[in-house]
Amino acid sequence: MAALLRCASKSQSYTSLCDGTRRFTVAMAAAFSHPVNKRPFDNLIQVRSISSPSVSLGGFSEMALGNKRKYYMIGGKGGVGKTSCAASLAVKFANSGHPTIVISTDPAHSLSDSFSQDLSGGDPVPVEGVDSPLYALEIVPDKLKLKEDLQSSTQGGGSAGIKDLMDSMGLGAMFDQLGDLKFEELMDNPPPGMDEIVAISKVMGLLESPSYSMFSRIVFDTAPTGHTLRLLSLPDFMDSSLGKMMKLQKKLASASAAIKSVLGKQEKQLDTPDQLELLWGCTRKVRDLFHDPDAMEFIIVTIPTVMAVSESARLCRSLRKENVPTRRLLLNQVLPPSSSDCKFCAMKRKEQMNALNLVRNDPELSRLSLIDATLFDAEIRGVPALNFMGNSIWK
């Protein structure tokens, strides 16, 4: 810990940030003169931690143990490096013998940039340069399709179809008393988090198909904190709004069928309740995954600043409140110890130490295993760099 604040000499150049990070540039240059699968980064540098070994436990051997399928969701505040951490973990899993797929559900994707490959086609793309199969995918939730699914769940289209039906049965006044259900608003504006839930559910369905059943590790690069919290709160919305709607439509289903049969307008289409039940099933499926400690783990990524740590503490409390398995906190962009520091570096180390103390004193974050990820002086991009990063932080 004392190494963080040590400044042996201030005569060094301001642009030389630290010895540890400078070695990474040398390693990068050496890497591109070797085949990727020979792992040229191994043993070239040693990245040291700002935390004591007893605190900083990545526990990767435990994460890689067994062939039972397991999901890892990497989340946190925007701009803390979630994508690089998720991609490096996926590379590490693949190089440890696990067929792996890494999936981005963040609307502002950067997974393609991280791997230096185009992953936006909507289908899993194979990633080259790893020991076991590794696929990557960027998902853009089809909000228009989701809206159509919701709208088609009311016969005749939206709330107007329900009103016409009830008017024909002499129950128009009853419909006017059901304004609290807000059918039109629900049809035109799917609830926050619904598109992410449907996307994750579709991915889970895809992975159950024979073509992709081989994957034993699934890594999600999630959207920033706000999206995650909305996704976690969605089941409550489903209970209150869609639940009421399903009950109402079930009561009207038999009457609707009888009237349309008399009028000769019987149509062959999916039962109204079934469409809503499919959406309900998506929510339940994802919620059950979120609550299963044997199948899923949420890893919080943050950086050593007071603002980022404070948001991570709130996220951790929300995850625990929702019973989402959370065991690890990854502290990214940590300045490594150096034999010499400029004034700027010394101030940054002091700032990072304040943030680390905040982590240790927080009643929620202090319960998590802390993983240090060093700040590198070169961009982490492409499989060789991700392999190096993975070997540095996932130990």
- Point out the residues that are catalytic: 106
Intra-chain end-to-end CA distance of the chain, in Å:
20
Helices 272-290 and 143-152: crossing angle in degrees, nearest 10, is 130
Pull the structure tokens for residue 30.
Answer: 């050496």
Q: For the CA atoms of the chain, what is the radius of gyration?
A: 26
What DSSP character marks residue 134?
E
Selection from 226, 327, 241 nearest residue 283 by Cα: 241
Closest CA to 190 of 152, 217, 224, 220: 152
Closest Cα partner for 141 from 113, 112, 103?
Answer: 103
How many whole angstroms separate alpha carbon 35 and alpha carbon 10?
A: 40
Query: 127 is written with which tokens?
Result: 């990633």
In whole angstroms, give the CA distance from residue 21 to residue 8: 17
CB count within 10 Å of CB 190 equals 19
172, 213, 244, 278, 305 from 177: Cα distances, Å: 9, 49, 14, 27, 52
CB 256 within 8 A of CB 174: no
State the DSSP code for 33.
T
